Amino acid sequence: MRKGIDGERGPVVALAEKLEQQKESINDYTGSTENLTAMVNHLAEEDGSIARDGIALALEGIGAFPTNRICDGQIAARLKIPKPYYDRMRDNSPGLLCNNVNHWMQAENADRMVRTMDGTARAFLSDRYRPLDNYELAQAVLPPMIEAGCEVKSCEITESRMYIKAVTYERQAEIKQGDVVAAGIMVSNSEVGQGALFAGLYTERLICTNGMVHNDFGQRKYHVGRKQTGGLDLTNAWEMFTSKTKDLSDRAFWAQVSDTVRGVLSEDGFDTVVESMREASEQRIDSDPFKLVEKTQKKYKLNDGEKTDILQHLLQGGEMSKWGLANAVTRSAEDAKEYDRATELESLGWSIVEMPQRDWSALTTTMN
């Protein structure tokens, strides 16, 4: 399992401190694209030299906010500017990019939400986007996790998502002799439009602490709500979207999220997952493991470094089965540079476990 943020008092305290810090620097604004202007933003190094130019979004009546990578991608998508061309203009001709963005912003004439943190525009979203923030999410999910006897093993806040991964050692099952897994839960959320709020089954293999995400054993709640105006006239200027303007049903919503966490930990999904793992442990690898991993790379679009790590962990683990390949993939998650990618690899491990027999046969058949 890939480790995330931590501190002397453990990952939960470290997460709480980071969320508290971020909460104070988050501001959301809603308004019309007619009253938004893109402008060149000079990005400077610590010594004062220009690193590169980017753009900032100037919101009428509010101020200007430099954009980050995610916000740039969303602007490009909303305005139908091809992303490679957008990036080329941003890096080589930011003035031309501003001209493009300003032209299409005026032509679009739509209400949008801009989410900011620490003075940076981190998301450019629909005005129907419902903010479901990490601070409130943590408050909703940590108590039922603790009530269920879970131990938070890893948590992280990346540019795009927050993750909380917890395990309860009160629910365990043996896949094969000496190979035990424990039940748990993963909760993830994106404040910037990169994915739904998700609460689902998570397992830990005790022999090596590999984690596995089971995306089809959980629930998703999407960031879609009513038009976020707060009763304001957004045709003239941009306004701050505060907690007072949030939907009054938020309290009930977070109560539902708490119930979802309790449900994930109490349902029979763990038993179903364990049975699939046992079946995978009986499906042997009779082909060349080098060819098998090459095919796995192509099928799942892994990079060369991931392919090398998976092959190494497969050979070192000595478990020549579908279960062994799945665990080689989840073990490679610990080698991933980015936490987001590590979680994707933990999910990929489960995809291999539940791979249909026809696909597994194609993967393990060596062509002469």
Q: Which residue, of 109, 126, 143, is where some domain finishes?
A: 126
In what helix (H) or strand (E) does residue 231 lie, and over which residues does it extend?
A: none
**Is 245 a member of any domain?**
no
Alpha-carbon torsion 344, 346, 352, 355, what sign?
negative
Q: What is the pTM of this model?
A: 0.89
**Is 91 a member of any domain?**
yes
Tokens representing residue 339 in the block: 């936490």
* Residues 72 and 81 sit within 8 Å (Cβ to Cβ): no
- Measured in residues, the chain has a length of 368
* Residues 115 and 28 sit within 8 Å (Cβ to Cβ): yes
**Is 215 a member of any domain?**
no
Three-point CA angle 305, 181, 314, nearest 5° = 30
The tally of domains found in the chain comes to 2
Q: Which residue, of 104, 126, 148, is where some domain finishes?
A: 126
Strand partners, 56: 39, 66
**Is 298 a member of any domain?**
yes
Q: Which residue, of 96, 126, 156, is where some domain finishes?
A: 126
**Is 258 a member of any domain?**
no
**Is 291 a member of any domain?**
yes
Nearest to 190 by CA among 252, 132, 253, 147: 132
**Is 312 a member of any domain?**
yes
The per-residue pLDDT for 248 is 53
The per-residue DSSP string of 31-87 comes to EEGGGEEEEEEEEE-TTS-EEEEEEEEEETTTEEEEB-HHHHHHHHHHHT--HHHHH
In what helix (H) or strand (E) does residue 351 lie, and over which residues does it extend?
A: helix 339-353
Residue 17, Cβ neighbours under 10 Å: how many?
13
Domain with 312 in it: 282-364
* Residues 336 and 348 sit within 8 Å (Cβ to Cβ): no
pLDDT tens digits in sequence order for the chain, 368 residues long: 888 888 778 899 999 999 999 999 999 999 999 999 999 997 655 555 555 678 999 999 999 999 999 999 999 999 999 999 999 999 999 999 999 999 999 998 899 999 999 999 999 999 889 888 999 999 999 999 999 899 999 999 999 999 999 999 999 999 999 999 999 999 999 999 999 999 999 999 999 989 999 988 888 888 776 555 443 343 446 666 555 555 555 778 888 889 888 888 877 889 999 999 999 999 999 889 999 999 999 999 999 999 999 999 999 999 999 999 999 999 999 999 999 999 999 999 999 999 999 999 999 986 54
**Is 251 a member of any domain?**
no
